[in-house]
Structure formats: structure tokens, C-alpha cells
Amino acid sequence: MSTLSFDRCCAEITAQTDLLRSHVKGADMRARVPSCPGWNLGQLLRHIGGTHRWAEETVRTRAGGPVPDDPVGDAALARCTDEDGAFLDEWLAEGAAQLARTLREAGPGSEVWSPSEERSAAFWARRMTHETAVHRADAALTTRADYRLDEEVALDALDEWMTFASYAEAAETPPDGPALLGPGRTLHFHATGPAPGTTAGEWLVDLTGDTARWSRAHAKASVAVRGPLTDLVLFVYRRPTPSGTGGVEILGDEPLLDLWLERSGFWLK
């Protein structure tokens, strides 16, 4: 469950989109996006706006199964190599606003298909908040704009990641790959910034049982990851961090961390 309210998520979809639009104002739509190999800036914006429209259709129709993702598919993006930035600016604003309206009209408890265990409009409000926020980082990196996440948004983004990382799919061992679960396998993430003396910015990942589990806790672990909140969000998403290479400190079993990051990101593939 999100720590952000449903209404806050609906508002963040448009707020994050507006910030993203400010990052790319006047930019060259043909500029390559370093964190999204194969895409230029126009293709990134098409992906974001297309995803908003895809999610909006999913919620509006109360879809019982996956809606065709033609607007965000590779074939559609391959045709978007030379986009008009002024058109995309309005197009992004319209798509985000329509998605927020549709979500509010549906209400958080409306039953609708999702790729997760939570089948509700609330899932889409949260997912589109963080989808937009992370891709905003891709745009900011491309245009060299300043990027920071609000503390509450960043905390919830990490909660969402930890939740997906606890699904059974994340712990499945591929035929020729190493096992993720095992004795003594724990990870601790510590965000600098939230109120000291609390576990508001701490996450303990326990891989010692028959499935992955996470909790808000302060504890020693096989590997510890520490850094500013925004940096930690981008770190788990495998994006460059605003603070540079020294923004995130890693102590302990780095191969375990790399394996967990790979497996926990299964839902992005």
C-alpha cells in the first residue's frame, strides 16, 4: 500500500509531468538519452505520454486484462525519431491531465487489471507517479537540468520497489543462474535526510527464507547501501545519480547487491 494518498498520486502525475516539461523546454528532440540506450529525447517523451494514455485507457475501460500497448511499443517509437518539441509539450500535458481526471473519476477502489497483485485504480495512480518521476530523471540527465525528488515521493518510490522485489518472480532461480535466496543474505538501505532516530528512510531486505521479504528497520546486513533519497531511488532503477559516483556508498557484499538489483527489476522487462 502506498504511503502517498490516492489524491496526492493523482496530483503528482501532473506535477511530475510539468517538471519534466520544464526540463525539456527548447531542447533538441534528437538528443540521445544516456540512460535509455537507443532512444532520443523525442522518443522518451513519446514513451511517457503513450504510457499515460495506455494507463488511462486501462482505468477508463475497467480492463479485465492487458490493454494493447501499441502507443508505447518499439514499432511506434521507431517512427518517432524527429519529433516537434512544441507539439509534445502540449501532448504531454493533455495526457497527464486526462489520466489524473480518469483516476479521480474512477476512485481508488475501482477494480481494474494491473500487472501486479493489486488490481485497482490506486495501483495505477501510484505506478504512474513513479513512472513519470523516474523518466523525468532521464530527461533531466539529457538536458543537464537539476533533478530532485520530494522526500515523500522518493520514500514511496523505494517502498514500491521493495514491494515488487518481494514478489515470488524476483526470487526465482533461472536454469543457469545463481540462487538469490540463502543463509545470511540480507541488504540494508539507508537514506540520508529523513528524520534521524527513525526508520522512515531505512529498508531491510531479508533473503534468508523461502521468499524475499522487506521491512522498515535498522539492522546490520550482508551489504549496506547509503545515500541521499533521490540518489537511492535512481540507484535501484540503475540511473546515474545527481550526486555523481560518490552519491551512494556501498559496504559489504556487492555481488549480492548486484544480483538482487538484477532480479528485483524483473517487472521492468
Asked, for residue 1, whether it belongs to a domain, the answer is: no
pLDDT at 244: 62
Of 254, 189, 265, which Cα lies nearest the Cα of 228?
189
Pairing of the two strands 213-215 and 223-228 = unpaired
Does the predicted model carry a pTM greater than 0.85?
A: yes
- Which parts of the chain register pLDDT below 70? 195-198, 243-246
Same domain, 26 and 55: yes
What is the CATH classification number for the domain harbouring 178? 3.30.1050.10
Closest CA to 76 of 54, 97, 59: 54
Structural domain harbouring 262: 153-268
103 and 157 in a single domain? The answer is: no
The per-residue pLDDT for 72 is 77
Per-residue pLDDT, 197: 63
Looking at 99, 125, 147, the residue that finishes a domain is 147
Same domain, 101 and 16: yes
pLDDT digit string, tens, across residues 50-85: 999 999 999 999 999 999 887 777 888 888 888 999
Per-residue confidence (pLDDT) for residue 165, from 0 to 100 = 95
Task: List the CATH number of the domain containing 59.
Answer: 1.20.120.450
Residues 26 and 124 in one domain: yes
Q: Give dist(CA 269, CA 170) in Å, integer.
A: 12
**48 neighbors 20 (Cβ within 8 angstroms):** yes
Task: Give the whole-angstrom CA distance, residue 233 versus residue 137.
Answer: 10
Structural domains in the chain (count): 2
Q: 126 and 172: one domain?
A: no
Same domain, yes or no: 207 and 233: yes
C-alpha cell at 141: 540527465
Choose the final residue of a domain: 100, 129, 147.
147
Q: Measure the CA–CA gap between 175 and 196, rounded to whole angstroms.
A: 43
